[in-house]
Chain A
Amino acid sequence: QKEVEQDPGPLSVPEGAIVSLNCTYSNSAFQYFMWYRQYSRKGPELLMYTYSSGNKEDGRFTAQVDKSSKYISLFIRDSQPSDSATYLCVVTRSGGANNLFFGTGTRLTVIP
């Protein structure tokens, strides 16, 4: 069983739509959750970082963690063409690059 599972998409939505991206994970010990955004031909960049359960909002982006279900989500409100990218969820129980588990990424296209 993989540490984290992510629907690869691709996902296409019209501009202005609300986007929901989701991941499930296997180990209840994971307590740090991140979302990275990766534009084509670029490296991933950190978008959201959360600890334990709950919601975190940053502008049009909301990260949600439900530890009881081992389910994490990223919501994008009023989606823009500039949001078109691959979104990677990441889970970890501690620090260190070797302890990060990446999802396969969901490719999102926002159509003008």
Chain B
Amino acid sequence: DAGVTQSPTHLIKTRGQQVTLRCSPKSGHDTVSWYQQALGQGPQFIFQYYEEEERQRGNFPDRFSGHQFPNYSSELNVNALLLGDSALYLCASTLGSGANVLTFGAGSRLTVL
């Protein structure tokens, strides 16, 4: 039973560039949430996708956007990268948008230089 898979594992970008991160949810799950985890901090909620729509959004600027595909996989896009965007980006999946037990992927570590 495949868990949540994320790609790429690591990537390095420069300020001002754009990045796309990808996530495949756990088999049987239909809802994907994205989190940003800075070093030494807990995960911060970015947004959640369910039925191909953004359902909830945390306190993140519009530079952060996403998409969910019919197969439930999801992308996180970040435009105009800032140094402060350097973090581990975690994807978590659930069955249903109201569940509170998350299955996390291993994350994509983004470094912005």
Contacts and interface: CB of A to CB of B under 8 A. Distances in A.
A43 B106 CA distance: 4
A69 interface: no
Contacts of A96: 48, 56, 97-100
A104 B40 contact: yes
A11 to B, nearest CB: 14
A103 B48 contact: no
Given A98-B58, A100-B45, A105-B42, A44 B100 contact: no
Contacts of A34: 100-101
Range for the number of chain B residues in contact with chain A: 20 to 34
B25 interface: no
B25 to A, nearest CB: 12
A46 B100 contact: no
Interface in B59-113: 90, 92, 94, 97-107
Nearest to B100: A95
Nearest to B4: A43
Interface of B: 4, 31, 33, 40-45, 48, 56-58, 90, 92, 94, 97-107
Given A6-B42, A98-B45, A105-B42, 11 more contacts: A43-B92, A44-B104, A88-B42, A92-B100, A97-B33, A97-B100, A98-B33, A98-B58, A103-B42, A104-B41, A104-B42
11 contacts: A32-B100, A36-B104, A41-B106, A42-B106, A43-B92, A92-B100, A94-B100, A95-B99, A96-B56, A105-B41, A105-B42
